[in-house]
Amino acid sequence: MKLDLLGAVVAAIAFVAPHACGARENTAPRGDWLPAPPVLRSLCLRPYSQTVVVRLPSGYSGYAGSFSWGSRYLRVDKVTARLHQPGMWAADLGGTSANEFGWYPMRMDGSSAVYASAVDGAIYLDPNTSGSVVLYRRGTGAPGSGEFTVEGCRVDQRPEPTLRPEIVVPHLPREFPWASDRPASLPITGQPVQLRSR
């Protein structure tokens, strides 16, 4: 009898105590107790990333480098270019899209140049071609160094419509051999080039 009385007292305390303290029973569905699953923001089965080192000897005001990605379309997500020394004033991304080679101007963001598809528009470069990045700097008295990085995704097809390249880049000097007659792919791979600085 004493054990029954003790059990009844314990059960009464367990029932009354939470309600007396203002606590409420959790009636939320069991799934709400678990952390939310991670959200996939971008799905890419074949990611692409390449960094090219830039080396400029003294006397040169520009650098042209190339990158390639194989037999699929390259969706360009982001391109960044920078020199470790001050003086870079522009950069351009070049490539073949829809069988047409052209240039996409990159935006200056502080001391770096950037092309981001979220801001500047999506680019899908054709398979079995190569892309190019050209950096321009003021002053040629000292050697320079830096790098550019291309990030994207290799995909099986290009959506329509796609961003067409700007064939004429206003700040590309006329003395530059590609300004008037641009070849389907650039002959210079990772080479300093003579450009007129601004």
Total Cβ atoms within 10 A of residue 111? 13
pLDDT at site 179: 37
Planar angle of CA 70, 117, 132, nearest 5 degrees = 45
Per-residue pLDDT tens digits of the chain, which is 198 residues long: 555 655 666 566 655 555 555 555 556 555 556 666 665 556 789 999 999 999 989 989 889 999 999 999 999 999 999 999 999 999 999 999 989 898 999 999 999 999 999 898 889 999 999 999 999 999 888 999 999 999 999 999 988 765 555 544 444 443 344 433 333 333 334 555 554 444
pLDDT at site 121: 86
pLDDT at site 70: 94
Tokens of 77: 């997500």
Beta-bridged to residue 123, according to DSSP, are 76
E strand or H helix that includes residue 117: helix 117-120
> Cis ω on the peptide bond leading into residue 161 (within 30° of 0)?
yes
**pTM of the full structure:** 0.63
pLDDT at site 181: 37
> Residue 26 carries which side chain, given as an amino acid letter?
N
Domains, the chain, ranges and CATH? 47-193 (2.60.120)
Rounded distance between C-alpha atoms, residue 177 and residue 195, angstroms: 10
pLDDT at site 104: 92
Tokens of 93: 């991304």
pLDDT at site 48: 97
